[in-house]
Amino acid sequence: MHALDLARWQFAITTVYHFLFVPITIGMAFLVAGLQTAWFRTNKLKYLRATKFFGRLFLINFAIGVVTGIVQEFQFGMNWSSYSRFVGDIFGAPLAMEGLLAFFLESTFLGLWIFGWDRLPKKIHLASIWLAATGTLLSAYFILAANSWMQHPVGYILNATKGRAELTNIFTVLTQKTALATFFHTIPSAAFTGAAFIAGVSAWLIIKKKDIEMSRTTLKAGLVTMLISFVLVGFSGDFTSRVMTQQQPMKMAAAEALYTTTDSAPFSLLTIGSLDGSRSVFQIDIPSVLSFLSTGDFKGVVEGVNDLQTKYETQYGPGDYKPNIPLAYWSFRLMMGFGFIAAFFALLALWQLRKGGTPKGKWFAPAMISLPFLPLLANSFGWIFTETARQPWAVFGLIKTADGVSTVVSAGAVLFTMIAFTVLYGVLAFIEVGLILKTIHNGPRPEEDFEVASIGGSADRPLVMSY
């Protein structure tokens, strides 16, 4: 394998892995903040137990999210230095802003929250978790703005002498439609993911008859959050696909395996393509729905892969402008499919919970156990789709992925670091899952309710929180 392929695999592995933890962090930060607010307002101990219990799970997850995030920021320079030279003038700015505005806020106030139970007035302690949650949101915004610029570059000019893109308007970069659409698609997805995690864990506690009082509340809260965010994900997803059709028609065509330009284009439910992915052999379609989804008009024209290929050859010169179509097609469907299944389970469980009932039936346990995993799969396939279906471009229309790789890093070096990161990440995942399962197995600990000491006191007072 060449350094290019290895660098792509390394990026895929480290990014997909990192993004397993990110949406749980964003979603749970707000949900834990919500639970603590409920405790603050009502003084009911079940909310305090929930805050502490889910807070513990949140932090186990957060640790891996943080440390794998460092790799993300350095990787551009290490494996993709030609890309970094080309885009640095624009792409670096949101990354630096993310650090200054988001990472500091998130890490500092999370530290205050974890260790501040007995050090801060109740109100300030509550504010800490909200500020940390705000930090995760800001972080998402800046990094999505940077990614959106790769999907749809705006606010720049090309400097031919220096061979790079240069920023002309930061506000355009930060407020373009793609960035906003992606943000409002990703954030509800994160809420969906965090809520599914909380719901799944709560359901398990109910099955195991542990702290039913708390678990019923958190299960309901999780399920309701899931359904609300699912609706938002759907709306923003619809909007995103329209923006995508305008800006990256090839991606939409690949997602639908639509080879020739059509009006009243059908939405494909199942396609079996030829092995090289160049045409489809068998399809089940719903008439006109694709046209509606991508243009808002049942008769709208949707461009096909082959026509776009011809168009791009004239525009950008000879080359292959088709992404991996089977991958795009299937990842797009798996993204939606896993999301739908999770939402369906949530709806079913919520229906059974009404009027104080307890969910029954053989489906409940397996459905609830699968609940935390389904959104993770949906998220991963969503990113796999949006990143691979942009290929061959790193920045659409400006620089190809193949031209972005570091020229001075050997294939051996990339292979070595790739294996090392993969092994390290694997070991960490193993440990992390073990800790999560053990935490769930232990369940909420009632004795913790009484460990919230008052402010002040002697210096030798036992610490509520220590490493």
> What is the dihedral sign for C-alpha 270, 276, 281, 285?
positive
Query: Does 168 interact with another protein (rule: CB under 8 A)?
Result: yes
> In the complex with another protein, which residue's Cβ is closer, 276 or 460?
460
Q: Which phi and psi (to 5°) does residue 162 adopt?
A: -85, -10
Write the interaction track for another protein spanning residues 428-447; mark x where CB under 8 A is met and - where it is not. Answer: x--x---x--xx--x--x-x
- How would you classify the pairing of strands 267-273 and 393-395? unpaired
For the segment 360-379, give every residue that binds another protein (CB under 8 A): none
Residue 121: CB minimum distance to another protein, A: 11
| Part of the chain binding another protein (CB under 8 A), chosen from 85-93, 186-194, 199-207, 219-227 | 85-93
Q: Is there binding between residue 269 and another protein (CB under 8 A)?
A: no
Closest distance between another protein and the C-beta of residue 110, in Å? Answer: 7
Nearer CB in complex with another protein: 122/461: 461
Residues 47-66 that bind another protein (CB under 8 A): 56, 59-60, 63-64, 66
* Part in contact with another protein (CB under 8 A); list of ranges 229-237, 256-264, 392-400, 453-461: 453-461
Owner of token pair 């794998």: 68
Report the alpha-carbon distance of residue 459 to residue 463 in Å, rounded. Answer: 10
Distance CA(251)–CA(108), nearest Å, equals 40
* Residue whose entry in the numeric block shows the structure tokens 């039913």: 212
Instruction: Specify the DSSP class assigned to residue 266.
Output: P
Q: Does 398 participate in binding another protein (rule CB under 8 A)? A: no
Residue (of 175, 152, 157, 153) closest to 167 by Cα position = 157
The closest alpha carbon to 82, from 463, 416, 422, 406, belongs to 406
Closest approach of another protein to the CB of residue 92, in Å: 3
> Could you say whether residue 67 binds another protein (CB under 8 A)?
yes
Q: Return contacts of 56-59, CB within 8 angstroms, 24+ apart.
A: 56/439, 57/28, 57/197, 57/201, 57/436, 57/439, 57/440, 58/24, 58/25, 58/28, 58/29, 58/32, 59/114
Using CB under 8 A as the binding rule, the residues of this chain from 277 to 336 that contact another protein are none
Measure the CA dihedral 43/47/49/53, to 10°: -150
The residue count for binding another protein (CB under 8 A) is 79
Could you say which of 30, 53, 103, 117 contacts another protein (CB under 8 A)?
103
409 to 428, contacts with another protein by CB under 8 A? 409, 413, 417, 420, 424, 428
Using CB under 8 A as the binding rule, the residues of this chain from 116 to 155 that contact another protein are 116, 119-120
Shortest Cβ 440–another protein spacing (Å): 10
Task: Tell whether residue 160 is a contact of another protein (CB under 8 A).
Answer: no
Among 163, 296, 397, 426, binds another protein (CB under 8 A): 163
